[in-house]
Amino acid sequence: MTNDIFEPKSIVVTGGCGFIGSNFVHHVVREHPGVKVTVLDKLTYAGNRENIAGLPADRVELVVGDICDRDLVNDLAASHDAIVHYAAESHNDNSIANPEPFLRTNVEGTYTLIEACRAHGTRYHHVSTDEVYGDLALDDPARFTEETPYRPSSPYSSTKAASDMLVRAWVRTFGLKATISNCSNNYGPYQHVEKFIPRQITNLIDGVRPKLYGDGKNVRDWIHTEDHSSAVWAILTKGRIGETYLIGADGERDNITVLREILKAFGRDADDFDWVRDRPGHDRRYAIDSSKLRRELGWEPAHTDFAAGLAETIAWYRDNEAWWRPAKEATEARYAAQGQ
């Protein structure tokens, strides 16, 4: 079923100073001692060099640059065995306020990377999201599979869908040596305070009431970012070229349930939050069927106790205020301007 195992000695990780990309860099350094990592990151508002600070200099190098920089990307593709592509504009609310950077980074950036990989025969792994499939009704027994038609709802998810389509076409037309993964909602340390879980935790640390969109019944399928990293490594090294794999850990929960777990951890009343304006086009429910990944590549999530993972994440934000504090005020000012 699977290819021979691919054993890269040198990889480029784009977006390796972001939330999930930096977790992958730590994962590779810890679990795969023979591999050197070059991080290509533009250090946008979402990137932070602290996320990979302290890793050994003979294993990890940071190149500050843009994935749309053709010459830079070409040099990196020529000198590495693989590119694992995480860099993106990643936040739905920002994409509604201003879609332009999403078109550029998510679509043009992916195009630049796959053209360079095509030119040099470099292995390419494309990190994408379950949001390309649109949403499911709350009472729909179905979950997303690799065969679910694309139906993205937001500027963010439509640009991710466009980038997936480019990769599929480059595989078929040019024989690009690529795989694609579509993962569900990640949580864990180092996530930007604009995202749902860190926003509510840091609000509570600041004595501010959490903010819930709509009716709070929207469902997300939560996975610990460590499990996302182990899945991407499995696909990079053992996945079949040209294939898509869905990554998920059976973690469906509605937003109000997650929020109440956070409130409880802070000793606050279950109703101690504000209802705020809903996100336009807000997807109702995401749910991943990851049986192909488990069956073909033998992957299993390790962090399946959501309550324990959430408690560790809350503890991390309490212990690492210096990391998130600089971004908090500007993030909340943006939300206030949007009535959220």
Confirm if 136 and 153 have CB atoms less than 8 A apart.
no
Q: Is 250 a catalytic residue?
A: no
Q: Which two tokens stand for residue 180?
A: 């694609």
Residue nearest ligand TDX, Cβ-based: 129
- The single residue among 13, 17, 25, 204 that binds ligand NAD, judged by CB under 6 A, is 17
Instruction: Provide the residue type at 68 as one letter.
Output: C
Which residue is catalytic, options 124, 133, 156, 190? 156
Q: Tell the smallest beta-carbon distance from residue 196 to ligand TDX (Å).
A: 3
- The single residue among 8, 109, 239, 248 that binds ligand NAD, judged by CB under 6 A, is 109
Stretch that binds ligand NAD, among 18-26, 29-37, 196-204, 295-303 (CB under 6 A): 18-26
Residue found under tokens 């939330």: 19
Residue found under tokens 């999403």: 102
Stretch that binds ligand NAD, among 15-23, 249-257, 276-284, 316-324 (CB under 6 A): 15-23
Residue found under tokens 């206030």: 336
Q: Tell the smallest beta-carbon distance from residue 288 to ligand NAD (Å).
A: 10
Residue 246, strand partner residues = 182
Q: Is 130 a catalytic residue?
A: yes
Alpha-carbon distance values, 217 to 36, 39, 264, 307, 340 (Å)? 43, 38, 18, 19, 17
Determine if 47 is a binding residue for ligand NAD (CB under 6 A): yes
Closest CA to 117 of 36, 34, 174, 66: 174
Instruction: Give every CB contact of residue 240 below 8 A, 6+ residues apart in sequence.
Output: 1, 2, 3, 179, 296
Q: Is 286 a catalytic residue?
A: no
Among ligand NAD, ligand TDX, none, what does residue 86 contact (CB within 5–8 Å per kind)? Answer: ligand NAD
- Number of C-alpha atoms within 13 angstroms, CB side, residue 99? 11
Determine if 185 is a binding residue for ligand NAD (CB under 6 A): yes
Task: Tell me which residues are annotated as active site.
Answer: 130-131, 156
Site residues for ligand NAD per CB under 6 A: 14-15, 17-21, 40-44, 46-47, 66-68, 86-88, 90, 105, 109, 127, 129, 160, 183, 185-186, 192
